[in-house]
Structure 1
């Protein structure tokens, strides 16, 4: 009974603050997250900065004390643990608030850690707002935004690999870029130079995107995706909504798709790797990236074809390294489109035929969406 009452109370409290939470995210409010680093690493919000009240070790000690000796003893221990460094921690909060006057502060539930941190700041003449309900309430609010979005009008963009679906999403005022936020292109060659975010951070960012897009349109346009994008997963309610939504299909010619993939997978990726890691390490990482991508589809290609394409890829890499030209990569990109990606996607698309409302070139689909999926 008590647990039920607590859940209802939390829900009611969140409902009272939903508009506040929405405004905080719409205005790109900077957040001071005073949770311990291990909590922050599990998931965070856009615009948040981890300036913890306690270190991971201190938090663990306080938690153990709370279980053994109760709240009063835990609070006393917490004060003792942070006492030697509290001036530095408060100074960091104050500097952040000075640089970001609109900043708010939160801990996990908006409770003791938030109040203590705000009081420490107030003691040196700095006032800061505390997010009611803390991280937990903000996170619940964002989860609800994703659930609500799954019930609104959705339009899915399909099409063979290389049709520019992600590019089209970025050009639309109501396009939700699942791959961009996942930092992965969704294929065997989709890994980016930088790492993917944590699942919770990914969901939080998507929810904030949904909030912002809702200011422009009551519908969303989303690329046709599988459940997984790299090591991340499309939030289940949104994915379920996508499986029922109307579709449009981009049907660009093979030659255009080949060149687009050559530019994206090879020219641009080699530049990104070398710019990030330096010429020597970047080239090695780029080479391993393409080799790993091809290896990832070896079973579908078959041993003989995989071996042949590996030789073609090796020759293309040598040509690119010596001349700077990526054109040699077309010699392996064209076969994997023809023999692997296109047959696989066409089979998947055939099961969604009844949902397809329009098909055309990139520009034709963009025009149709501009009129029909506003």
Structure 2
């Protein structure tokens, strides 16, 4: 079997979703990582801190000696076994540390001594992260971006996910982009979000055609769109989904009551409906200032009644009564204002099927 060599071909790693063995400490991994990476650290956070202090006070040789003392015996064997298992499960993978230095070299050496030849990534996490930052900025400026706009409830994400040359920014951010957009999962870190967006753009750049994105604000939940992408989106052309208020109420009912409610039920069992209820009431509370006290209280009362009815009868129909004024009094004024400020030209308007056909034709013509 031919031995694989170390690599600095970062584009290939991300384009092929190559499995990555991250040997950095857990705290480093949590701060920022890559979608295909698994955290199997050489040292714990405490061990890393101790070695860092030793390096600062006594120099590199003493720090290396301490590292070997801390990761030795049974602990060393346990960690080596986890790396061996990763290598066996992912024969096409690579390992790395922060800069491609001592930690990844040591893990590679210990694996080699155990009979496992496993390549590492030169430059490590720092070089890969720099590559993705530069890639994102370059591709954001070069991409032929078309935005999908439309009022809340028109099903923009549904259209995005039906198109091959699209990026679901809200999916990558794990947030639906509205006051009620929080999901059960925590949002990724800002770094992880940026990494995921850069990789998605890199993959689309391998073929010709427009990049289709939802028309987002500066923030998706607590995550900021990368500045270069946001600047490019601000002037990009737009297609606009248009549906009646009742059709939009139906989409919101499906997404935020039926779908989200089922997610809470799966996650929390019998307690799920109560958790779902409290989450939406909490989200509604954050809209009080813009709605005004009287309208907020009216909608809150309607929401409480809808959940009561759903609990008693199993019917979600009562939720239409609060969704309708929420769209009319809260979301639509904001959307109309934002649309009036857009610089990009409007290409066309219509329902999801007509816009899907229009955008597919644009993609095929590229």
Cα-to-partner distance string for 1:176-214 (whole Å, 9 max, x where unaligned): 111001000011100001111111111111112222222
Return the alpha-carbon distance in structure 1 between the equivalents of residues 344 and 27 of structure 2. 47
Tell me which of 164, 175, 185 is aligned to 1:173: 164
Return the alpha-carbon distance in structure 2 between the equivalents of residues 165 and 53 of structure 1. 44
Q: Is the 8 A contact 1:18 1:141 kept in 2?
A: no
Deviation of 1:19 after TM superposition, in Å, equals 7.8
Tell me which of 286, 298, 302 is aligned to 1:312: 302
Match of 2:174 in 1: 183
Match of 1:220 in 2: 211
**Structure 1: segments with no counterpart, 5+ residues:** 1-16
Q: Is the 8 A contact 1:178 1:206 kept in 2?
A: yes
Return the alpha-carbon distance in structure 2 between the equivalents of residues 97 and 324 of structure 1. 50
Deviation of 1:25 after TM superposition, in Å, equals 1.5
Return the alpha-carbon distance in structure 1 between the equivalents of residues 7 and 46 of structure 2. 34
TM-score (normalised: structure 2) = 0.94
Q: Is the 8 A contact 1:108 1:135 kept in 2?
A: yes
**Structure 2: segments with no counterpart, 5+ residues:** 1-5
- Pick closer, same or farther for the CA change 1:245–1:353 going to 2, 3 Å: closer
Aligned residues: 357
1:122-271 to structure 2, matched below 5 A, reads: 122-151=112-141, 152-271=143-262
Cα-to-partner distance string for 1:138-196 (whole Å, 9 max, x where unaligned): 11111122112211211111110011111111111111111001000011100001111
Deviation of 1:354 after TM superposition, in Å, equals 5.3
Q: Is the 8 A contact 1:173 1:216 kept in 2?
A: no
Return the alpha-carbon distance in structure 2 between the equivalents of residues 258 and 56 of structure 1. 49
Cα-to-partner distance string for 1:45-101 (whole Å, 9 max, x where unaligned): 111111100111111111111111111111111111111311111111001111111
Return the alpha-carbon distance in structure 2 between the equivalents of residues 134 and 140 of structure 1. 10
Q: Is the 8 A contact 2:7 2:122 kept in 1?
A: no
Q: Is the 8 A contact 2:23 2:40 kept in 1?
A: yes
TM-score (normalised: structure 1) = 0.92
Of the structure 1 ranges 210-219 and 99-108, higher mean CA displacement relative to structure 2 is found in: 210-219
Return the alpha-carbon distance in structure 2 between the equivalents of residues 217 and 166 of structure 1. 22
Structure 1 runs (4+) greater than 6 angstroms displaced: none
Return the alpha-carbon distance in structure 1 between the equivalents of residues 137 and 343 of structure 2. 26
